[in-house]
Structure 1
Amino acid sequence: MNKGLLAATIISISYSSAVFASESCDDTALNGYMESIKSEIGLLSSDVKSGNNTSASHRVDTVISYFKKSRNEIPYKFSAEKLQGNKLEEQKAEYIKVVDDTIVILEKLEKALESDDMTQVKSLFGQIGAQRKLGHGSFKANC
């Protein structure tokens, strides 16, 4: 076989595999939002620890905006598990509920930060952690 033809075939297959590869869980808009939320929550925690509740309150707004955007996305796990029909609709509804419940907690956190109620802030951080575990346990694909 001609070496040039072999090289062209290998390059062609490599290129077409990259172009036609299926979406992975890391390539979704939802994953991007979640990565941003993770970063913002880390910065938010640092702001709270340093006593900068004003900055922390602004970060809460940013986190809420990412959750609102995430609400309109479909977790990759749903397509990876090929969910359809009623099961898909049930999972979508549960996902939206977890997102909405998290937004409510974040809104409470913002109020607690604004009133310097650090006992409430600590409690709400715990609730956010519980929501994270619930969301990841229910909707994050293992990939």
Structure 2
Amino acid sequence: MKKGLLAATIVSISCSSAVFANQACDETVLHGYMGNIKDEMQAMSSDVKSGDNEAAAQRVNTLITYFEKSRAETPFKFTSENLQGNELAQQQEKYTKVVDDTIVILKNLENALQTDNATDVRKWLGEVGGQRKIGHGAFKANC
């Protein structure tokens, strides 16, 4: 009886470890950050539309924090495509550059919001949209 229970426990642990090792793209830390970024972007957009630039600037600050955290993550696409060595290093460098460029744009947007410069707010919001297209086009896995 005890041997059977032990064997069942070992098999159960082995199977569950395999399941956890095969992580889906929507179960990654980065995916969670991107979901938070999406929510904050929508809220920030609403703040801008309602003329509450102060609240929008606070949202931008939160967005910067999420992007800073995202910088240390590896996109699921790199794992799913089994990138290794030089190829992985090159893609990780490109990913880091997109994140860093986005942070710079967000800081410019924050400044435009704080100074109530509507022209620059529109400009930097457009730039954020451009960065989104670049990032999703290059680093988002098709899951």
- Report the TM-score range of the alignment, normalised by the length of the smaller protein: 0.7 to 0.9
Is the alpha carbon distance of 1:117 and 1:16 closer, same or farther for their aligned partners in structure 2, counting shifts above 3 Å?
A: same
Unaligned residue ranges in structure 1 (runs of 5+): 1-8
- The residue identity in structure 2 corresponding to 1:80 is S
1:37 aligns with 2:37: yes
Distance 2:34 2:40 in 1: 10
Distance 1:110 1:103 in 2: 10
Q: Which residue of 2 aligns with 1:58?
A: 58
Q: Which residue of 1 aligns with 2:96?
A: 96
Distance 1:69 1:121 in 2: 24
Distance 1:36 1:17 in 2: 31
1:20 is displaced (CA, Å) by 2.2
Q: Which residue of 1 aligns with 2:115?
A: 115
1:70 aligns with 2:76: no
Any idea what the Cα deviations from partners look like across 1:54-110, whole Å, max 9, x if unmatched? 000000000000000000000000010000111000000000000000000000000
Q: Figure out how many residues of one structure are paired with residues of the other and give that number.
A: 133
Any idea what the Cα deviations from partners look like across 1:35-70, whole Å, max 9, x if unmatched? 000000000000000000000000000000000000
- The residue identity in structure 1 corresponding to 2:39 is S
Identity over the aligned pairs, expressed in percent? 55
User: Secondary structure at 1:97's aligned position in 2?
Assistant: helix
User: Secondary structure at 2:124's aligned position in 1?
Assistant: helix
Unaligned residue ranges in structure 2 (runs of 5+): 1-7
1:19 is displaced (CA, Å) by 4.8
- The TM-score, its normalising length taken from structure 2, stands at 0.88
1:136 is displaced (CA, Å) by 0.4
User: Secondary structure at 1:51's aligned position in 2?
Assistant: coil
- The TM-score, its normalising length taken from structure 1, stands at 0.88
User: Secondary structure at 1:65's aligned position in 2?
Assistant: helix
Distance 1:68 1:50 in 2: 27
1:15 is displaced (CA, Å) by 8.7
User: Secondary structure at 2:91's aligned position in 1?
Assistant: helix
Distance 2:25 2:12 in 1: 21
Q: Which residue of 2 aligns with 1:25?
A: 25
- The residue identity in structure 2 corresponding to 1:61 is N
Runs of 4+ in 1 over 4 A off after TM superposition: 13-19
